[in-house]
């Protein structure tokens, strides 16, 4: 009797396996009601975005509480609606005033989300402390950037952009220093492309990608059997793509480094798990570079929803791994509002203009027609305006 | 006890046999790459990594080999005897251009209007100054399909996504009904349909900024393409494009070529994010300390230094 049961069970297994392998074309939903592709994998396809604004880190006043109440969300929406934000002018006629060009209409915020922070682990919703090594690197980087600002109005006026530094009317001798670590952020020196931020060079756009309070973070997923492609529309034309390897093979050899890493995926039940390594040392995510390791979990939770969780790990930067969770909402396929172009690069007139202006200012100074370029700040923006009351 | 074992073993054997048979069918498509079924949603499955293996990226038309990607007059007054010029002269035989029978169908001619032909010739003469490829701009279609870089097709039921290694370019072929883009594009707006087992793609909404090759072949914003993808074997796509642009060409014309599957078992699409690589080319003249030493305004003058390494046998023989 037991033998027969086992045999029958095995045959049922065979039938089930065959049914899956021949891809009968049925699109049975996942247990959660989410659709499947005709070949039986959970269907993650479409254009997705986070329609709500949630701060990366939780404000301390919420402690370990993961969700806002509905009343709190309404209150926060009201408070944020009343913000002047970038419509508040800093002192008129200053360099910083000019830098605040994007106003509150351009930078309108999304509504408050359910979560008190994107970070769900550690339980306080905060980025874990950094290692002594990472603190040292960050401090050296900050000191250099402050030295480039020390003789400018920004430091003279005690702007928050000069916090930690102090005004000195004489330009710092450090202005002549060669870069010893790949620069990714804007600095008050414009000797060549390398002094520019990745964003100014049209080289920003990377993972993990958490969007902004103002939106502008879309991703399109297209699937085939054992193949997934994701295109990210982010940062005003700084979009990028990931083609996830789904054949169980190991990561790229360690000398092959990429701006967007090496993504290798597998299905764990109905969740797509993607392991990402091999980042280039030219990338920087909150201080993490070539040692960044991500484990992403993509789960279709319903017809219009996709849950995304990512565990972020770099033992050279953070004392422990941390995890972010987002819920994406499906966008209209018909309206097709995701843009792969124009890219930032094809229209990047600003960056060479910045470099050219720096050369002209140097020339004017040399000929006694203008001030020392080291006395002006062409790097700082958006300082002194009201920030999102979510806090930091 | 022994009966139970036998039963289990038989069932395991059945599972193994059936799974093995099915898996071998679904994997029979190709030796390399991720194994995938030959058909998807009832259509030929183009998913995988592909690359042209021809000289179309140099020049769509038939041409003889030449000494350099950039040439100058040599000692002869003949066009066919030009020699390599800076900046490629220091690359020796690696800087030349291979010959080709061309990919333009019919008489092999590109039917330019007389005015457009003059522009094409000027483009060729000023290749370095004008070719958007050198600036790492989006390559356009069809050029992206036959550049010397691989691309990946991810084929679903209502979308077919193409991801190109060059400049991390992408386009999506829509098999469903979508709104047109709000502005002209570099890579076009691709709408596909099936004609039996051939994927036919209508591409429009182009700007006038992309080229067809490194020979200066160009188009206007009126460009309209009809691409046809047909599997000749599981690992070869016959790719054909009908090219129409009444502002530049006097009639439609056609190119055709095979696209080959990259068969390496470990093949995957790797980045060629050239924005960074083109910075010296684009912004070198506005550096404080220039790396390229000679600039006349925005004009880069490349001085070539080529040193003979000590111990080089060929040169040592002269020195004896």
Written as six digits, the tokens of B189 are 């707006």
pLDDT mean over B20-27:
42
Distance from B62 to chain A by nearest Cα, in Å? 31
Whether chain A has a CB inside 8 Å of the CB on B36: the answer is yes
Whether pLDDT at B27 is above 50: no
Q: Please tell me which residue of chain A has the smallest CA distance to B171.
A: A340
The fraction of chain A above a pLDDT of 90, given in percent, is 75
Nearest to B203 by CA among B230, B171, B177: B171
Q: Which of B35, B168, B178 sits opposite A336 (nearest CB)?
A: B178
For residue A209, the SS3 value is coil
Residue B16 has pLDDT above 60, yes or no: no
Count residue pairs from A and B with Cβ separation < 8 A: 179
Asked if residue A43 has pLDDT above 50, the reply is: yes
- The reply to whether residue A191 touches residue B35, judged by beta carbons under 8 angstroms, is no
For range B102-127, the mean pLDDT: 97
CB distance A103 to A86 below 8 Å: yes
Kindly list the residues from chain B whose CB atom is less than 8 angstroms away from the CB atom of residue A203.
273, 275-276
Q: Does the beta-carbon distance from B286 to A226 stay under 8 Å?
A: no
Compute CA distances A134 → A138, B169, B172, whole Å. 6, 35, 41
- Contacts of residues A233-237 at CB distance under 8 Å and 24 or more positions apart, as own/partner, are A233/A338, A233/A339, A233/A340, A234/A205, A234/A209, A235/A199, A235/A204, A235/A205, A235/A344, A236/A344, A237/A202, A237/A339, A237/A341, A237/A342, A237/A343, A237/A344, A237/A345, A237/A347
The CA distance from A131 to the nearest CA of chain B, in Å, is 31
* Facing residue for B157 by CB, picked from A6, A38, A201: A38
Taking residue B48's Cβ as centre, other Cβ atoms within 10 Å add up to 26
pLDDT at B299: 81
∠ Cα A67 A390 A380 (to 5°): 145
Å from A24 to nearest chain B CA?
10
pTM over the 0.80 mark: yes
- The Cα B172–Cα A340 span in angstroms is 9
Stated as kind and residue range, the H or E segment containing A46 is strand A46-49
Determine the straight-line distance between the first and last CA of chain B, rounded to whole angstroms. Answer: 89
Reply yes or no on whether the pLDDT at A6 is more than 90.
no
CA A119 to CA A128: how far, in whole Å?
10
User: Taking CB atoms and an 8 Å limit, are B179 and A18 in contact across chains?
Assistant: no
Q: Do B11 and A2 touch (CB under 8 A)?
A: no
pLDDT of the residue at B294: 77
Q: What chain B residue is nearest to A246 in terms of C-alpha separation?
A: B34
Q: Which of B176, B187, B273 minimises the CB distance to A259?
A: B273
Give the length of chain A.
Answer: 392
pLDDT in tens, B60-74: 999 999 999 989 999
Interface test with B, best of A222, A226, A349, A356 (most B CBs within 10 A): A222
Using CA coordinates, name the residue in chain A closest to B170.
A340
Residue range A180-206: average pLDDT? 95
Residue with tokens 């793509």: A241
Predicted pLDDT of residue A99: 63
CB contact under 8 A, A224 and B174: no
Q: Is A224 on the interface with B (CB under 8 A)?
A: yes
| pLDDT for residue A96 | 66
User: What does the pLDDT read at residue A385?
Assistant: 55
A303-332 residues touching B, CB cutoff 8 A: none
Q: Contacts of residue A359 in chain B, CB cutoff 8 Å?
A: 286, 288
User: What distance in Å separates residue A14's CA from the closest CA in chain B?
Assistant: 5
DSSP A329: E
Task: For chain B, say whether A193 makes contact (Cβ under 8 Å).
Answer: yes
Query: Could B276 and A222 be called an inter-chain contact, meaning their C-beta atoms sit closer than 8 Å?
Result: no
Confidence at A98, pLDDT banded by 50, 70, 90? low
User: Cβ separation of A3 and B7 shorter than 8 Å?
Assistant: yes
Q: Identify the pLDDT of residue B13.
A: 45
Tell me if chain B has a CB within 8 Å of the CB of A229: yes
Does B298 have pLDDT greater than 80?
A: no
Collect all residues of chain A within an 8 Å Cβ-Cβ radius of residue B44.
Answer: none
Q: Do A336 and B288 touch (CB under 8 A)?
A: no
Average pLDDT, chain B: 89
Chain B hits for A22, Cβ within 8 Å: 22
Which of A205, A226, A243 is the mutation pick for testing B, counting most B CBs within 10 A? A243
Tens-digit pLDDT profile for residues B125-173? 999 989 999 999 999 999 999 999 999 999 999 999 999 999 999 999 9
Task: Please determine, for residue B279, whether its predicted confidence score (pLDDT) is greater than 70.
Answer: yes
User: Mind listing the pLDDT tens digit for each residue in A257-285?
Assistant: 999 999 999 999 999 999 999 999 999 99
Give the residue on A whose Cα is nearest the Cα of B279.
A193
Q: Is A224–B23 a contact, with Cβ atoms under 8 angstroms apart?
A: no
Ramachandran angles phi, psi of A162, nearest 5° = -105, 10
Query: What CATH architecture applies to the domain B44-63+100-261?
Result: Beta Barrel (2.40)
Report how far apart, in Å, the C-alpha atoms of A140 and of each of A137, A145, A179 are. 5, 9, 12
Residues of A in Cβ contact (< 8 Å) with B282: 352
Q: Do B22 and A22 lie within an 8 Å CB cutoff?
A: yes
Residue B199 β-bridge partners:
B194, B229
Q: Is A230 in the B-facing interface, judged by CB distances under 8 Å?
A: no
Least Cα separation, residue B63 to chain A (angstroms)? 31
Contacts of A335 in chain B (CB under 8 A): 178-179
For chain B, the structural domain boundaries read 44-63+100-261, 289-319
B9 touches chain A (CB under 8 A): no
pLDDT-derived band at A140, boundaries 50, 70, 90:
very high
Are residues A218 and A233 in contact, defined by beta-carbon separation less than 8 angstroms?
A: yes
Which B positions 128-157 lie with beta carbon below 8 A of chain A? Answer: 136-138, 152, 154-157
Q: Distance from B309 to chain A by nearest Cα, in Å?
A: 28
β-pair partners for B230? B238
Contact A339, A233 (CB under 8 A): yes
Percent share of chain A, pLDDT over 70: 84
Q: Do B37 and A23 touch (CB under 8 A)?
A: yes
Chain B positions touching A223 (Cβ under 8 A) are 154, 156
Q: What CA–CA distance (Å, rounded) separates A294 from A318?
A: 13
Q: Decide if B185 touches A, using CB distance below 8 A.
A: yes
* Number of alpha carbons in the 13 Å side-chain half-sphere of residue B223: 30
Banded pLDDT at A382 (limits 50, 70, 90):
low
SS3 per-residue string spanning chain B: CHHHHHHHHHHHHHHHHHHHHHHHHHCCCCCCCCCCCCEECCEECCCEEEEECCCCCCCCCCECCECCCCEECCCCCCHHHCEECCCCHHHHHHHCECCECCCECCCCCCCECHHHHHHHHHHHHCHHHHCHHHHCCCCCCCHHHHCCCCEEEEECCCEEEEEECECCCEEEEECCCCCCCCCCECCCEEEEEEECCEEEEEEECECCCCECCCCCCECCCCCEEEEEEEEEECCEEEEEEEEECCCCECCCEEEEEEEEECCCCCCCCCCECCCCCCHHHHHHHHCCCCCCCEEECCEEECCCCCCCCCCCHHHHHHHC
* Cα A158 from Cα A115, distance rounded (Å): 35
A336 contact B CB<8A: yes
Work out the minimum CA distance from A98 to partner chain B, whole angstroms. Answer: 24
Asked if A110 contacts A69 with a C-beta cutoff of 8 angstroms, the reply is: no
pLDDT value, residue A391: 58
């Amino acid at each position: 009797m037991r033998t027969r049961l086992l045999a029958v069970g095995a045959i049922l297994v065979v039938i089930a396996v065959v049914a899956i392998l021949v891809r009968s074309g049925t699109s049975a939903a996942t247990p959660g009601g989410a659709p499947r592709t005709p070949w039986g994998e959970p269907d993650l396809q479409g254009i997705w975005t986070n329609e709500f604004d949630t701060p990366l880190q939780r404000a301390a006043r919420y402690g370990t509480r993961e969700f806002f109440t509905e009343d709190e969300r309404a209150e926060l929406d009201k408070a944020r609606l009343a913000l002047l934000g970038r419509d508040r002018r800093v002192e008129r006629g200053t360099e910083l005033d000019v830098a605040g060009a994007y106003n509150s209409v351009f930078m309108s915020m999304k509504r408050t989300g359910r979560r008190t922070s994107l970070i769900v682990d550690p339980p306080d919703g905060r980025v874990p402390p950094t290692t002594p090594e990472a603190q040292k690197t960050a401090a050296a980087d900050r000191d250099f950037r402050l030295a480039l600002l020390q003789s400018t109005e920004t430091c003279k006026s005690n702007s928050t952009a000069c916090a930690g530094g102090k005004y000195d009317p004489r330009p710092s001798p450090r202005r002549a220093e060669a870069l010893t670590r790949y620069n990714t952020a804007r600095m008050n020196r414009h000797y060549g492309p390398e002094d520019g931020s990745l964003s100014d060079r049209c080289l920003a756009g990377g993972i993990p990608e958490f969007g902004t309070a103002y939106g502008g973070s879309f991703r399109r997923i297209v699937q085939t059997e054992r193949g997934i492609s994701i295109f990210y529309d982010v940062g005003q034309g700084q979009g990028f793509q990931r083609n996830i390897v789904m054949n169980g093979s190991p990561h790229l050899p360690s000398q092959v480094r990429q701006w967007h890493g090496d993504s290798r995926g597998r299905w764990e039940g109905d969740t797509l798990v993607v392991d990402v390594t091999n980042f280039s040392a030219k990338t920087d995510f909150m201080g993490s570079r070539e040692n960044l390791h991500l484990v992403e979990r993509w789960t279709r939770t319903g017809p219009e929803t996709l849950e995304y969780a990512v565990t972020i790990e770099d033992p050279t930067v953070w004392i422990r791994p941390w995890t972010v969770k987002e819920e994406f909402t499906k966008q209209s396929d018909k309206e097709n509002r995701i843009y792969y172009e124009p890219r930032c690069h094809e229209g990047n007139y600003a960056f060479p203009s910045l470099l050219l202006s720096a050369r002209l200012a140097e020339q004017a100074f040399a000929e006694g027609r203008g001030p020392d370029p080291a006395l002006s700040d062409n790097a700082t923006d958006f300082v002194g305006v009201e920030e999102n009351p979510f806090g930091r | 006890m022994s009966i139970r074992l036998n039963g289990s073993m038989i069932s395991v054997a059945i599972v193994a046999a059936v799974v093995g048979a099915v898996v071998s069918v679904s994997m029979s498509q190709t030796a390399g790459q991720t194994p995938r079924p030959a058909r998807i949603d009832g259509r030929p499955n183009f998913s995988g990594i592909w690359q042209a293996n021809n000289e179309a990226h140099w020049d769509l038309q038939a041409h003889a080999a030449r000494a350099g990607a950039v040439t100058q007059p040599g000692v002869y007054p003949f066009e066919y005897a030009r020699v390599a010029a800076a900046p490629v002269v220091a690359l020796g035989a690696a800087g030349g251009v291979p010959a080709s029978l061309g990919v333009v169908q019919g008489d092999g001619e590109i039917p330019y209007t007389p005015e457009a032909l003059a522009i094409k010739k000027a483009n060729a003469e000023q290749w370095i100054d004008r070719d958007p490829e050198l600036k790492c701009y989006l390559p356009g279609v069809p050029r992206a399909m036959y550049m010397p870089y691989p691309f990946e097709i991810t084929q679903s039921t209502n979308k077919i996504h193409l991801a190109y290694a060059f400049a991390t370019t992408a386009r999506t072929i829509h098999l469903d009904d979508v709104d047109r883009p709000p502005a002209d594009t570099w890579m076009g707006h691709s709408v596909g349909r099936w004609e039996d087992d051939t994927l036919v793609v209508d591409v429009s909404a182009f700007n006038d900024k992309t080229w067809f090759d490194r020979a200066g072949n160009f188009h206007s914003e009126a460009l309209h393409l009809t691409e046809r993808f047909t599997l000749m074997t599981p690992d070869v796509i016959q790719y054909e494009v009908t090219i129409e642009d009444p502002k530049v060409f006097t009639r439609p014309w056609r190119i055709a070529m095979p696209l080959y599957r990259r068969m390496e078992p470990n093949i995957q699409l790797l980045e060629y994010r050239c924005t960074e690589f083109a910075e010296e080319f684009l912004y070198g003249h506005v550096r404080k300390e220039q790396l390229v030493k000679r600039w006349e305004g925005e004009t880069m003058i490349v001085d070539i230094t080529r040193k003979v390494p000590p111990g080089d046998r060929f040169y040592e023989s002269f020195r004896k």
